[in-house]
Structure 1
Amino acid sequence: MAPVETVIPARLDRLAWSRFHTLVVVALGVTWVLDGLEVTLAGSVAGALKASPRLQFSDADVGLASTAYLAGAVAGAVLFGWMTDRLGRRLMFFATLGLYLVGGAATALSWDLPSFCLFRLLTGAGIGGEYSAINSTIQEMIPARYRGRTDLVINGSFWIGGALGAASSLALLDPAIIDPEIGWRLAFMIGSLLGLAVLVMRRFIPESPRWLVIHGRFAEADLIMDEIEARAGNGKATGTLTPLRIRPRRFTPLREVFHTLFVVYRHRALVGLALMAAQAFFYNAIFFTYALVLSRFYGVPANQIGWFILPFALANFMGPLALGRFFDTLGRRPMITFTYAISGVLLALSGLLFAFEWVSAAQLTIAWMIVFFFASAAAGAAYLTVSEIFPVEIRALAIAVFYAAGTAIGGAGAPYLLGVLIATGSRMSVLIGYLIGAALMLAAALAQWLYGVAAEGKPLEAVAQPLSSVTD
């Protein structure tokens, strides 16, 4: 195709915040709520799964099921990430949510370990695919000056789902209210019911105009842009519209994708991988197995785990909410470095307090609240980073590749490893797992400080020039 000039990206970035942007955040960002719900339920019902007369899971079985969920998320992210860049954002954020609904409902009907792991894998595949489709859409819809704080708060909404899962488990796992064998099954149905409502909301979210322009669908992009501006009402801001000159393309070959990621942007790739792997291990190792730590080392009953998860979830949400704006004002590089480094140091100190039995269950929870206040912002910044520092043509697949690689390296085996360490009954063994997580966070902080990108306030096309751009 011949080169064409477009001002679509500039029109998107000049908008002030409006109800349209709020709709995008709620309808698409709910993915993180669903993931938080799933992860929290998996942790909260661990005791019920072990006590189930039908399933009779061991500590290692609980860790294996969590690993199946993460493995599904990795596979789903890569598959749907590739499809999202080729077929469009909108189609995929319906398909991935549909897969999640089916997997979640099927989990509630599990009858043994293989079936439970299979359905958790399918649920994870839906959530992993959502990450690629949703994060790329949100990045391309939100004006540049709001992008950092918005992305962090959306990622932090994972813990709204966490709180919902914890609160639900308190009722559904209470023998005085309902048989726990039925209760854990009902718990896994909650996400599917919530997802049905989200399907309706997503009908009002259009295709990404940035994606349409890159693929040569200018008339459709202009029409959608006119509708967005009309829906924004007084949200349209004034400013010069700098045109972007591109040569549209139908798709980007995989060879060019990986050359761009690992040759052209190799330093950015190192940063993205370090950030994603560190936060994946940090969260998956600790949070997925927290219920096991409480039950084995502190004797907390399964139906009381939720009381410890609720304040933990609150601190995780408050971190990005309180710190998010500084990623747009002070900048990405210093804030990401700081949140990763402080999280690693605090995790090591908390692990030592646990190992030497210097804290009670309540005090350990308070320690985790402090640690994850910063760690939640750090984890959100990892997703923000990989979704904004690569070209628009490969944005969804880039998110998928680094999510998958980070989770595979740092997260997929983490719950199983910690499950095995917890099963030894040795606090010092568990401490080893915590110290690994701390070391990974500190290494990621160093990588960010050395090679981090100052993307704050910049249009996506300025952060990473589109592969289809024409400069002559």
Structure 2
Amino acid sequence: MATGTHDLGTITTDVPARLDRLPFSRFHRMVIVGLGTVWVLDGLEVTIVGSVGARLTEAGSGISITASQIGLAASIYIVGSCLGALFFGQLTDRYGRKKLFMLTLGIYVVATVLTAFATAPWFFYLCRFFTGAGIGGEYAAINSAIDELIPARLRGRVDLLVNGSYWLGSAAGSGASLLLLDENLLGAGIGWRLAFGIGAVLGLLILVVRRHVPESPRWMFIHGQADEANRTVGEVEQEVERETGQTLEPVDQQLRITQRHVVPFREIAKVAFTKYPKRAVLGLALFVGQAFLYNGFTFNLGTLMTTYFGVATSTAPVFLVVYAAGNFLGPVLLGPLFDTVGRKPMISISYLGSAAMAVVIALVFTGLNAWTFIGLLGITFFLASAGASAAYLTVSEIFPMETRALAIAFFYAIGTGLGGIVGPVLFGSLVESGDSSQLITGFYIAAAVMAVGGLAELAFGVKSENASLEDIADPLSAAD
């Protein structure tokens, strides 16, 4: 059993082993719903803004804003998400998972509600920045909490399912936009405002469920709260035994920890780049690759369909729903293989396979119609989505517990800052050119960037399936 108080000292704890041996239960389902569904919000948010952007520029929308200002708002959202991830990631490692995943969701809800009342570009920008900051903070707080609460043998499939749920929100956003933009149902100045209200309502519902998700016991025993960690795990064990009618077997794996309240940022940076330099390179390669591919295509897919395949603006969301469905099915169907076949082969297959598909699309692009194109693109992102979700899983697993949230935040911010900004700008200009040969070049570039991520996984990937987080990377606080 874990022993100790808020006074810091060296303790022996069996909390990680007790968490990892739990059978899947109602508790774990609550964790997935309370924490994981925020990705649905992110997908809804990004897709709806892309869908209603054209409506905002029209007369009668209630806000005087141009197409270029809509693009600027998208960039501001990304900047907000990167800065929010870094800022709240540090706070998550310092003050705990629960405090921050409540705070960041609250920021998202408030900022989204305020967006619905925007009447001027500057206010719209401000709301988009704080909406992004809330979502960015969620990435760090949520992934770290989920990975620390889900048993090791299920961690891969659950993490991929959670991250892949982004595309449920994306599909819902595309479908909702068909109704919200119908002026026969709603006025030009009403539909887009209601779109932001949908995200806020869902956020409030998630906040209610999230109140019942406990603080991570792994975080607690390191930060001088060993008794609380022991009590939390004991309550979960009692709940599981009542649900299953089985008595849990005792564990014999223990960990010695020298507790501390704060881990200095310089120590975190030193660990990532001196103790684990290969893992740092791996994290960067995976995140830059997926951010470039995803942001490049997702932000420009609607205009690509209208420019090259003559799809009407009003029916473009139908193709976006098909695209989103492929992205969601990848993590759901392939996720279990990341726990059985293993991380290294599956991540490599996901990245290199999607790169190969991008090359195939480039080779046959001029002979495709709208449906054959979206079909091939669906296969590409069926693979890419599993790989992209695994990027978050990877950086959450392969660095010490004290740095977990900030590691996620750092690689997310760098990857999104590089790939997430360059990708949309490059593909936007290639799509706008109307020249098929230029767009085909973009497919080759995307394939190359994803291939680098796949090769990095082959070279530096870590065998972390079914392993305790503390075995994959020793906690910085582990006593000699």
TM-score range, shorter chain: over 0.9
Partner of 2:269: 258
Amino acid at match of 2:144: S
1:283-331 C-alpha deviation (Å, 9 max, x unpaired): 1110111112223333433332221111211111111111111111111
Q: CA RMSD in A?
A: 1.7
- Correspondence 1:291-302 to 2 at 5 A: 291-302=302-313
Partner of 2:215: 207
Unaligned runs of 5+ in 1: none
Partner of 1:347: 358
Find the aligned partners of 1:56 and 1:67 in 2 and give their Cα distance: 15
Tell me by how many angstroms 1:2 deviates.
Answer: 3.3
Change over 3 Å in CA distance of 1:349–1:47 after alignment to 2: farther
Given that residues 38 and 206 in structure 2 are in contact (C-alpha distance below 8 angstroms), is that contact kept between their aligned partners in structure 1? no
Higher mean Cα deviation, 298-307 or 445-454?
298-307
1:93-121 C-alpha deviation (Å, 9 max, x unpaired): 01100111122122223334443333222
Pick aligned residue for 2:140 from 132, 145, 157: 132
Tell me by how many angstroms 1:222 deviates.
Answer: 1.2
Q: Tell me the secondary structure at the aligned position of residue 325 of structure 1.
A: helix
Find the aligned partners of 2:198 and 2:31 in 1 and give their Cα distance: 22
Q: Does residue 86 of structure 2 align to residue 75 of structure 1? A: no
Find the aligned partners of 1:222 and 1:236 in 2 and give their Cα distance: 18
Tell me by how many angstroms 1:237 deviates.
Answer: 4.5
Partner of 2:38: 31
Given that residues 66 and 415 in structure 1 are in contact (C-alpha distance below 8 angstroms), is that contact kept between their aligned partners in structure 2? no
Given that residues 337 and 445 in structure 1 are in contact (C-alpha distance below 8 angstroms), is that contact kept between their aligned partners in structure 2? yes
Tell me by how many angstroms 1:405 deviates.
Answer: 0.8
Amino acid at match of 2:434: G
Find the aligned partners of 1:180 and 1:345 in 2 and give their Cα distance: 43
Tell me by how many angstroms 1:64 deviates.
Answer: 2.9
Partner of 1:388: 397
Amino acid at match of 1:125: A
Q: Tell me the secondary structure at the aligned position of residue 303 of structure 1.
A: coil
Tell me by how many angstroms 1:206 deviates.
Answer: 0.7
Change over 3 Å in CA distance of 1:57–1:438 after alignment to 2: farther
1:51-100 C-alpha deviation (Å, 9 max, x unpaired): 45544533x54433322211111000000000000111000001100111
Tell me by how many angstroms 1:434 deviates.
Answer: 2.9
Q: Tell me the secondary structure at the aligned position of residue 415 of structure 1.
A: helix
Change over 3 Å in CA distance of 1:152–1:87 after alignment to 2: same
Q: Does residue 179 of structure 2 align to residue 168 of structure 1? A: no
Partner of 1:287: 298
Q: Does residue 18 of structure 2 align to residue 5 of structure 1? A: no
1:19-64 C-alpha deviation (Å, 9 max, x unpaired): 1000000110011111111121122223324445544533x54433
Given that residues 354 and 380 in structure 2 are in contact (C-alpha distance below 8 angstroms), is that contact kept between their aligned partners in structure 1? yes
Find the aligned partners of 1:429 and 1:112 in 2 and give their Cα distance: 36
Amino acid at match of 1:29: G
Given that residues 77 and 401 in structure 1 are in contact (C-alpha distance below 8 angstroms), is that contact kept between their aligned partners in structure 2? yes
Q: Tell me the secondary structure at the aligned position of residue 40 of structure 2.
A: helix
Amino acid at match of 1:170: L
Moved over 6 A (4+): none
Partner of 2:468: 459
Change over 3 Å in CA distance of 1:345–1:237 after alignment to 2: farther
Amino acid at match of 2:456: A
Pick aligned residue for 2:316 from 268, 283, 305: 305
Tell me by how many angstroms 1:4 deviates.
Answer: 1.0
Change over 3 Å in CA distance of 1:282–1:236 after alignment to 2: farther
Tell me by how many angstroms 1:345 deviates.
Answer: 1.6
Find the aligned partners of 1:185 and 1:428 in 2 and give their Cα distance: 39
Partner of 2:5: none
Find the aligned partners of 1:64 and 1:419 in 2 and give their Cα distance: 13
Given that residues 286 and 434 in structure 1 are in contact (C-alpha distance below 8 angstroms), is that contact kept between their aligned partners in structure 2? no
Given that residues 81 and 129 in structure 1 are in contact (C-alpha distance below 8 angstroms), is that contact kept between their aligned partners in structure 2? yes
Change over 3 Å in CA distance of 1:107–1:361 after alignment to 2: farther
Partner of 2:21: 14
TM-score (norm 1): 0.95
Higher mean Cα deviation, 184-193 or 441-450?
184-193
Q: Tell me the secondary structure at the aligned position of residue 5 of structure 1.
A: strand
Given that residues 11 and 241 in structure 1 are in contact (C-alpha distance below 8 angstroms), is that contact kept between their aligned partners in structure 2? no
Tell me by how many angstroms 1:17 deviates.
Answer: 0.4
Given that residues 36 and 162 in structure 1 are in contact (C-alpha distance below 8 angstroms), is that contact kept between their aligned partners in structure 2? yes
Change over 3 Å in CA distance of 1:378–1:172 after alignment to 2: same
Unaligned runs of 5+ in 2: 1-7
Partner of 2:289: 278
Q: How many residues are aligned here?
A: 468
Amino acid at match of 2:17: A
Change over 3 Å in CA distance of 1:285–1:320 after alignment to 2: same
Q: Does residue 197 of structure 2 align to residue 186 of structure 1? A: no
Amino acid at match of 1:341: L
Given that residues 237 and 248 in structure 2 are in contact (C-alpha distance below 8 angstroms), is that contact kept between their aligned partners in structure 1? no
Higher mean Cα deviation, 46-55 or 6-15?
46-55
Find the aligned partners of 2:317 and 2:220 in 1 and give their Cα distance: 45
Percent identity between matched residues is 46
Q: Does residue 407 of structure 2 align to residue 398 of structure 1? A: yes
Given that residues 74 and 404 in structure 1 are in contact (C-alpha distance below 8 angstroms), is that contact kept between their aligned partners in structure 2? yes
Find the aligned partners of 1:422 and 1:107 in 2 and give their Cα distance: 29
Change over 3 Å in CA distance of 1:47–1:299 after alignment to 2: farther
Partner of 2:279: 268
Q: Tell me the secondary structure at the aligned position of residue 302 of structure 1.
A: coil
Q: Tell me the secondary structure at the aligned position of residue 204 of structure 1.
A: coil
Partner of 1:432: 441
Find the aligned partners of 2:252 and 2:338 in 1 and give their Cα distance: 25
